[in-house]
Each structure stands twice: as C-alpha cells, then as structure tokens.
Structure 1
Amino acid sequence: MKDLFWHLVGISTGLKILLIPAYHSTDFEVHRNWLAITHSLPLNRWYVEATSEWTLDYPPLFAYFEWLLSQVARYVDPRMLEVSNLGYESKATVYFQRLSVIVTDLVYVLGVRSCLGALGLARDSQQHFAGAMLLLLNVGLIFVDHIHFQYNGFLFGILLLSIGYLIRQRFLWSAFAFAVLLNFKHIFLYMAPAFGVYLLRFYCLEQASVAGMASAMIKLLAVGLSPFAVAFGPFVKQLPEVLARLFPFKRGLTHAYWAPNFWALYNAADKVAASLMRVPGGATSSGLVQEVKHSVLPTITPPMTFILTLVFMLPILVKLFRSSKKQSPLVFLRSVILCSCSSFVFGWHVHEKAILLVLIPLCLLTLVNREDARYSYILAIAGYFSLFPLLFDPDLFIPRYSLYMSYVAMLYGQLYRIFPGFRGFHVWEWLYMLGFLVIPLYEHLLSFVLGLDKRLPFLPLLLTSVYAGLGVLYFFGGYYLYALGLNGGNKAAGGTASVKRKRKTK
C-alpha cells in the first residue's frame, strides 16, 4: 500500500508525457521569449525588453529560473533563444519546454508528500491515497500546465512545502519557503495575509517574554525578507520598471475571458442593463484584453477592488488570530482558502487560472472534514469547468470533457470512501451542478441549430463565466459562514474528529 503514492506519480507523469503533442496556448511563446530574453540579454535589459508583446512580467526568481532553463535549452535548439525569433516552435523546442514542466513537477510531488504527512494521514489510509490522487492527478494543473502551458506545478509544490512546514510548526522554514514563492510568482500574495497572521500569532506572540517576541520578530523578518533582497537586489536601479511589469493596472478590471467571479456577474448585469435601456456599449465579452468602461453601472477602479478584497479577508483573519493552538492548523488552511477566494472574487484583472489558488489547498481539507469536502465538490464542479475557455481548440474538446468528468467522478468516489454514505447536497445544489451539462449542449449543438454561432460567437464564454461565477460566489458565501461557524448546524470544528485514519485502501 505504501508504494501507491509512487504508482500515482508514475501514472501522472505518463499522462503528462502523452499530452506533449497537444495544443498549447500563447503562453508557450511567452516562456520561449523569456528563455531568449534571459539568455541573450544583459540582466539590466530583462524588464525593459519589448521586442515581443509577451514581456517579462514575473518576479526576478522566475527570471533566474528561465535563465537556468536556457543553459540547457542552448544544447537542444539554440534558435529558440533568439529574441527576434518570435513564434518559434521547432519540435525540439516543444519537447524541451513540455518536458521542463514535467521535470520541475518533482517539487510538486515533494510538496504533496510533505503536506499529507503533516496532516498526520497514515500512508496506508484511504485519506492518504485520496489526497495523493486528487493532488497528483489534479485536472486543473493538467489543463493549465500540460495542455495550455505554464509552470504552476512546481510553484504549488513550494506552497505545499510551506504549508507542511507551518503545520509541523517549523515556522521559519515556512516563512522562507513562502517568501521564495512570492519571488517566483507574485499572485500568491492572495494568501499572504493568512501566513502573516498565523506566523505573528503563533510564532512571535507565543514567546514567553517581550525580548523573546522581539527576537522572534527579527528572525522572521530576516528570513522572510532575505529572498526579496537576493531576488530584487540586482534590479534595484530598475525597480520602477520591474514593479510596473509586475502590477499592470492598465490591463483593465477583467481578463480577456472573464474569470468566474463577482465582476463577471457585474459585467453581465451591465450588458443586460445597457441592452434593456438601449444604451450603447456595455461591458465587453469579446475575449480581448482591454479596459472595461461600464455603460450603466459605475465603472470600477483598482482601489475599489483592493478595499473589497481586504474587507472580505478580515473576518477569517480575525478568527485565525483568535483561534486556539489546537484548532489553528485547520483554521489556517481555511484562511488560506478564503483569502485566496476573496482576491479571486473581488480582485483586479483576475485570470480564471487563479481559481487553482483556492482549489489546490482545498484538496487538503477535503480529506479531513465532511463539510469541507461537500463545499470542495461544489467548487470543483464550477472551478475546473471554468478553465474550459483556455482549451478552446476543437481537438481538445474530447480530452477536456473526458479528463474533467473522470476527475469529478474520482473526487466523488474518494469522498464516498472517506465519508461513508457521502451525499449531503441540497436539491438546488444538485440542480446547479447538473446545469453544467447545458452549456456544452448549447455550445456544440444548439448554437448551430439556432444559427447563433456566428451572431453570438462569444456567448459560450459568457455563459461559462457567469454560470461558474454563480457557483464560485455560492461556495464563497456558504464556506465563509461555515468557516466562521455561523451557518447553523454545520460547525467548523477544529481537529480531525471526522477522519477515520484506520480505514484501509482497498
């Protein structure tokens, strides 16, 4: 039984290798261009180079990571490292970049193993097996990294290592790992408040004396800030240019394909209101990256989204700060999820891929509490479906639906094994989840029958964003009340009383 984990690693790796020839998005060219920039240009030009529209806009540690990859890439096909060679896609380049994602996923494997161990799940238990399946075969990472193309796996690996360290109360290691993560990809700032509050409360303020608290704070700051010093030090004279790349507020409220959040519903409401009132315009649904000017509803600015995000983070952060040490690990994980979800729901220019910042940590809580598992399943149905616009090529229709259906079926099956008799959904929740069958029916059949495929080509995108957005908001509100212990009979109790660790994998 103990070898099942590595069997799952092998299955996951084999599936990723099979997907190497699959369609890839413009992100493939983004990373090829970053390889070229970091290999061919001096460091002081990395964040000002603009030959390609896909400029370097990740923090410096990711730039150094691309430079390391380029040292191998030059032996594979040096032409991929020419800055002017835009759109270059030789077979060697494709295999190199695809395999680089698969190889770096080893960090993710280590992070998964670390977290499952930190939760105290016996390696021969059903919970451990289920966790390995849900994380190692995660359909969201397969969609985003191994078809669409990105390097999220090893980044989530660092996140899981940081969470594992924190649960084991290795606080400084956790802070260091999370600081390193932020210097790879700054989107993980979404969950930084949860880490900050936990480390302050249970590392710094737990010390016996004021001197001890001061010493702990100094150590924490030194460990947390050192990765920033190493990463940004060489770019100190270019800091304004680097920050402008990292935080491009001129890109608009919503991404090209709307993330399923509050602003998707806001944009849709503006379009409906503009149509009913015969006002020209309305929020765009054209699939292009552009600034949105609402025609009827008030136009949203970055400060508004920041304030909303912060306000919705505060209740769970207060609960985390006031929680007991025994309850704190589970409250911390719920805080990570809800801080990420607050940012996803109300943030500025949120990409649909950011839903993984909620879904991946939620896999951990799915293993230890029935009510967390119930909410997790609802969000999985909506969240993973919302990634379909990334896989728009017709050749991907069968893989995307088959992988999605297999994963949600596997998730339900594992929950049923962990929590015998697992059902727990209300009628309207079942009806909502079944409603996702209608969108593909319209997209692939009814739109052609009704002649709407040419007149309203972006309607399937709009339906996906809005309908999935309803599920995300339902999860956000319900799970928040549950985490705060405010939804009647469903108490977010600490501990893992609902876990039956002796239940064996069959």
Structure 2
Amino acid sequence: MHVPRTQMKKAARSKKKLITNDPLKDERQSTAKFSINNELWTIFILVSAVKLLLVYTYHSTDFEVHRNWLAITHNLPINEWYTNNNSQWTLDYPPFFAWFEFFLSQFGKFVDPEMLKINNLNYASHATILFQRLTVCVSDLMLLHGVREIADVFCTTYENFITFFLLSLFNVGLLMVDHIHFQYNGFMLGILLLSIAQVSKIQSVKILKGAGYFAALLNFKHIYLYVAPAFIAWLLKWYCWKKNKFFNRLIQLGIIVMMTLLISFGPFATQLPQVFTRLFPFKRGLVHAYWAANIWALYVGADKILSLIWKRFGWLSIIKTATLTGGLVQEDVLAVLPTPTPLFTFIATIVVIIPIIFILLTCTERDFHQRDFIRCLILCALGSFIFGWHVHEKAILTAIIPLSILAVIDADDARIFLILSSTGHAAILPLLFPEDLILIKIIMLSLYTIIASLCLQRLFNQSLLTSYEWIYISFLPFLTIYEAIVHKIIFHERLPFLPLALTSIICAIGIIYSWILYCYIFYSHCSNKMKLTCKTDKLIKLCIPDSN
C-alpha cells in the first residue's frame, strides 16, 4: 500500500513530539547531563591541581614577553602600544589580546606593582610568577567552556564525553606550552572550540554567534587565519546559500566581521601600518630558531646534508656554508637548494587547502556532516603548519585540540589523533630545555600517549594503529634521551644543533604522514557518502512511484 509522503512526515512529527514530552526521558537526560557536568568539573579541578604544581618550574622568555605587555598596556596611551620598543619583546598580538593584557594588569597592580614598570626588564618576583601563572590557569575556564559546548554537539554517549574531556583538558601539549613554557593557548583554543560548536548547530542565530566568536578569536591571535578558509566556506555553504537569501545573509556576516574589526583596530586607526608590521613580520625568515616539524625542516635539513657534500667536493664557497651553521634561518639564503620566499610558501599553502575547501563548497547536505567541517578545519591547520612561513612548533595544537573531539567518534580520526598528538607533542619537547625537566618531559609524553591509546582502543574495541605506526610512536621519547644524554656522550660539545634538527626532521615525517593519511581518509569518507547517496536516490525512485 502506498502511503503519501505528507502523511509520513506528519506521523514522524507526532512521534517526535511524543518522545520529547516523555517526562521519564527528560528526567533521565537531566540526570545524565548533571553527571557529565560533575565529571567535567572533576577532571578540570584535577588538571588545575597539576598546573599549580608547575607554577615555579622553568618558564621561557615568553614569560617576560607577557610581563612587558602588561607594563606597556598599563602605563602607556594606546597610541604607543604598538610603537614602544623599550624592550625587544614588543607587542605583536592583535588588539583584543592587548586589551586582555590591559585587563589583567588591573589586577596585577594589587599583587606586585613592580611587575608593571616598563623599565623593570626581566622582573620575576615570586608574586609576579604566581600571578602570571594563575592568569593562565583562570583563563583556561574558556577552554573548559569550549570543551563542554562542543561535546554537547558531537558526543552521544557517556564514554564519548569522558574520553574527550580527558584528551582535551589533560592535553600534554597545552600543559607544556602554557603552564611550563608560558602562553595562553588554552584560552584561545577554547574560543575556537566554542565557535566550532556554534556554527555546527546549523541554526541561523547559532551560526551568527559562532561567526562572531571566530571573528573575535582572529583579533586575539591572528595565527587562526590558518583555519579561516574552512570557516568561510562553511558559512557560505550552510548559511548564505540557503533559502535564497544569499546577499542578505552575506551582509549579516559582513557586518559582524566589520564591527569586530572596527572595535579591535579602530583605536589604532592612525597607526595601522605599524600594527600590521608587528603582526606580520615576514623578515623573520623561513623557519624559526628551532625548526618546526614541517616540510621546511626536511628541506633545510636536506640543504645541510647537501652543503656538506658540496663542500667536500669543493663546489661550495666557505662564505655561503657559514650562513646556516647555527641552525637558524633568518634572512639568509640556503647553501645549495633554492631559498623559498614568503610568496612561494603562501602559494604552496593555498594549493594544498583549495581541494579541501572545494569539497566543502560543492557537496550536498546529505553528503556532508558537521564532522566533515571539523576535518576540513584540521586539514587547513595542518596544511598551513606544514607549508607555512616561519611557523612555530606550538601551532600544531591548532590541529590536535579540534581533532580530539573527532577521535572519540570515529576510529579513523582516533588513529590520526594518536599519531599526530604523539608526534606534535614530541616536537614541542625541546622548548623545555633545562636538564631538570628531562624526566618530566618523558613521563608527560609517554603517559599521555599510553592513556590516550588505551582509552580510544577501549572505546572502539579495536587496535587503531599498524605495527609500523606503533614502532614509530614508541621511538619518540628516545629523541629526548638522545638529546639529553646520548649526543653528549658521542659528540661531547660538537654539533650542538644536531639533536634539535633530528627531533624536527623525525617529527616532521610523522606530521606529514598524518596529513597525507588524513587527506586520504577525508576524501574516502566524502566519496563513499556521495556513492551511498546516489544508490539511495535510485532506491527511493524504485520504491516510491512518482506522484505525477
């Protein structure tokens, strides 16, 4: 018997209404939500206790950077924030972060006024250290909020929630970079997760809120421009191009972006060239002092090896070989291979991102899921990390943290997460160079990798990695052992940059492998769903006769 489609839709709506009005189900859902919130706060309190244990450990020069920014924003008029060069650690973050430092300085003056003196360079009293460390811990409440919001969208079981909370809040990369090295990545990654959660809800108001959060994030730290193409494509596809309201909705998004930029950069309108010079310092060179684990680490490493061969055969001048002997690339040229320019790296990044964005823009609603948007975002982050200009090793967290939500949902994503997180975290370890941190580094990396592996394997009830991938991951902690002990035994004081170069190159292999494998998985998922949609359409046409 043929049932009209209108009757089927009415029956479905009636069934949904009956389900949502079930008081017992509502009570169970409320109880489950309360339990999940309790678990979330328990995990957050536990990780906060770990952070407090790290308060008086080593901190990098970034600690002085942020202390200096507190002093600049507290004492100087805003027209001098981006021009003051009293210290080498000049303000080079967007205006929203400058205002964030100004806000923190209002509390800092009650703790230790000396920290807010501009000429008090390298000041680090116990009170100052405690205050600045606590500002990072408290700002992680934004990470907590972002984790909870995105979990509500994507997690469907209690096990999903708890595993994701552990992977994100206990992320060893954030512990090392924010709470030892010293930065505020957790705060900004929380905003990123919040914006992803909002735009993934496919509701007009929520999407606009998510767009606003992301626009604000770009004005806290412009490194998130790397993932902007994914957001732009998603907003165009799932907001602007729906219901024949393209121009109206595009104008709405434009107003949000322009208002955010106006609020952020408006007070600095008379010095915009200076601000942008600080934000985009292309003169810093292709790679950082410690090479980020990307394609350019392999490229510069290859140039080093070729330069030794060229020198042995007398094909290379002494002057040219001296430019890179310190392992630092500023505005120097490479010895043998062509030196990439900022334009070349930009084009390379665009080339690897365009296919991902094209799929996002051209797929149909039935072929695409919010999870695929996050995959696009992660691939944009990885593409920019691997091919970008003067990339910092810490930028890998922009891919690892969003990937943690997908790792608890899909086994393929979990596989990539285990490889990428262990490799990315291993690449961060050299930032913590004091010898008394060697044991802590090895324990943190190994413990997180083991816990993540056990949790995800239990969640999916299967082995996630191949034997070769397990061997590679198991080898990573030995890079730290080689750097700290073995290299000194073999080479003594010679070749001091070799351990760092090996770490960058070996970790670059793992990160590039993760990116290639994830591209393949993404294309396969999308292709399979498109094929399934075609088969479903054919089946519907056979089963349901045309009413005409």
The two structures have a TM-score, normalised by structure 1, of 0.93
Letter in 1 for 2:498: L
Give 3-state SS (helix, strand or coil) of 2:334's partner.
Answer: coil
Give 3-state SS (helix, strand or coil) of 1:277's partner.
Answer: helix
CA distance in 2, matches of 1:459, 1:491: 48
CA distance in 2, matches of 1:449, 1:134: 37
- Does the C-alpha gap of structure 1 residues 467 and 282 become closer, same or farther in structure 2, counting only changes over 3 Å? farther
Q: Does 1:121 align with 2:156?
A: yes
Native 8 Å contact 2:414 2:464 kept in 1: no
Q: Does 1:302 align with 2:342?
A: yes
- Cα deviation for residue 57 of structure 1 reads 0.1
CA deviation vs aligned residue, 1:244-301 (integer Å, no higher than 9, x gap): 0000000000011000000000000000001011134277363556234101100110
The equivalent residue for 1:475 is 514
Native 8 Å contact 1:320 1:328 kept in 2: no
- Cα deviation for residue 331 of structure 1 reads 1.3
The equivalent residue for 2:114 is 79
Equivalent of 1:330 in 363, 366, 371: 371
CA distance in 2, matches of 1:368, 1:342: 23
Equivalent of 1:344 in 370, 374, 385: 385
Native 8 Å contact 1:179 1:225 kept in 2: no
1:117-156 paired onto structure 2 within 5 Å: 117-122=152-157, 125-156=158-189
Give 3-state SS (helix, strand or coil) of 1:386's partner.
Answer: helix
CA deviation vs aligned residue, 1:5-35 (integer Å, no higher than 9, x gap): 1110110111111110110000000000000
Letter in 2 for 1:106: L
- Does the C-alpha gap of structure 1 residues 492 and 460 become closer, same or farther in structure 2, counting only changes over 3 Å? farther
CA distance in 2, matches of 1:448, 1:206: 63
Native 8 Å contact 1:270 1:282 kept in 2: no
Q: Does 1:246 align with 2:279?
A: yes
- Does the C-alpha gap of structure 1 residues 389 and 285 become closer, same or farther in structure 2, counting only changes over 3 Å? farther
The equivalent residue for 1:24 is 59
- Cα deviation for residue 227 of structure 1 reads 1.1
Letter in 1 for 2:105: S
The equivalent residue for 1:353 is 394
- Cα deviation for residue 312 of structure 1 reads 0.3
CA distance in 2, matches of 1:468, 1:174: 33
- Cα deviation for residue 334 of structure 1 reads 0.6
- Cα deviation for residue 396 of structure 1 reads 1.2
CA distance in 1, matches of 2:341, 2:151: 41
Choose 298-307 or 1-10, whichever is displaced more: 1-10
- Does the C-alpha gap of structure 1 residues 492 and 441 become closer, same or farther in structure 2, counting only changes over 3 Å? farther
Equivalent of 2:504 in 442, 458, 465: 465
- Does the C-alpha gap of structure 1 residues 364 and 284 become closer, same or farther in structure 2, counting only changes over 3 Å? farther
Equivalent of 1:444 in 470, 484, 497: 484
- Does the C-alpha gap of structure 1 residues 284 and 487 become closer, same or farther in structure 2, counting only changes over 3 Å? farther
Q: How many residues align?
A: 487
Q: Does 1:5 align with 2:44?
A: no
The structure where helix makes up a greater share of residues is: 2
- Cα deviation for residue 492 of structure 1 reads 12
Letter in 1 for 2:500: L
1:221-236 paired onto structure 2 within 5 Å: 221-236=254-269
- Cα deviation for residue 484 of structure 1 reads 1.1
Give 3-state SS (helix, strand or coil) of 1:455's partner.
Answer: coil
CA distance in 1, matches of 2:217, 2:472: 36
Q: What 5-or-longer segments of structure 1 have no aligned partner?
A: 495-506
The two structures have a TM-score, normalised by structure 2, of 0.86
Native 8 Å contact 2:70 2:104 kept in 1: yes
Native 8 Å contact 2:68 2:116 kept in 1: yes
- Cα deviation for residue 232 of structure 1 reads 0.1
Equivalent of 1:291 in 313, 331, 335: 331
- Cα deviation for residue 486 of structure 1 reads 8.2
- Does the C-alpha gap of structure 1 residues 493 and 443 become closer, same or farther in structure 2, counting only changes over 3 Å? farther
Q: Does 1:263 align with 2:304?
A: no
CA distance in 1, matches of 2:474, 2:167: 22
- Does the C-alpha gap of structure 1 residues 166 and 484 become closer, same or farther in structure 2, counting only changes over 3 Å? same
- Does the C-alpha gap of structure 1 residues 246 and 27 become closer, same or farther in structure 2, counting only changes over 3 Å? same
CA distance in 1, matches of 2:349, 2:208: 27
- Pairwise CA RMSD: 1.9
Letter in 2 for 1:332: F
Letter in 1 for 2:99: Y
- Does the C-alpha gap of structure 1 residues 186 and 222 become closer, same or farther in structure 2, counting only changes over 3 Å? same
Letter in 2 for 1:142: L
Equivalent of 2:235 in 176, 196, 199: 199
CA deviation vs aligned residue, 1:24-63 (integer Å, no higher than 9, x gap): 0000000000000001111100001001000000000000
Native 8 Å contact 1:37 1:46 kept in 2: yes
- Cα deviation for residue 174 of structure 1 reads 0.7
Whose relative contact order is higher, 1 or 2, with alpha carbons under 8 Å and at least 6 apart?
1
Q: Does 1:391 align with 2:428?
A: no
CA distance in 1, matches of 2:343, 2:510: 26
Give 3-state SS (helix, strand or coil) of 2:493's partner.
Answer: helix
The equivalent residue for 1:55 is 90
Give 3-state SS (helix, strand or coil) of 1:114's partner.
Answer: helix
Equivalent of 2:131 in 89, 96, 102: 96
Give 3-state SS (helix, strand or coil) of 1:109's partner.
Answer: helix
CA distance in 2, matches of 1:107, 1:408: 25
The equivalent residue for 1:112 is 147
Q: What 5-or-longer segments of structure 2 have no aligned partner?
A: 1-34, 534-548
Identity of aligned residues (%): 44
CA deviation vs aligned residue, 1:391-436 (integer Å, no higher than 9, x gap): 0111211111111111111100110121002x24233323322332
CA distance in 1, matches of 2:429, 2:62: 16
Give 3-state SS (helix, strand or coil) of 1:299's partner.
Answer: coil
- Cα deviation for residue 449 of structure 1 reads 2.5
Letter in 2 for 1:126: E
CA distance in 2, matches of 1:285, 1:439: 21
Q: Does 1:485 align with 2:521?
A: no
The equivalent residue for 1:182 is 218
- Cα deviation for residue 225 of structure 1 reads 2.0
The equivalent residue for 1:366 is 407
Q: Does 1:419 align with 2:460?
A: yes
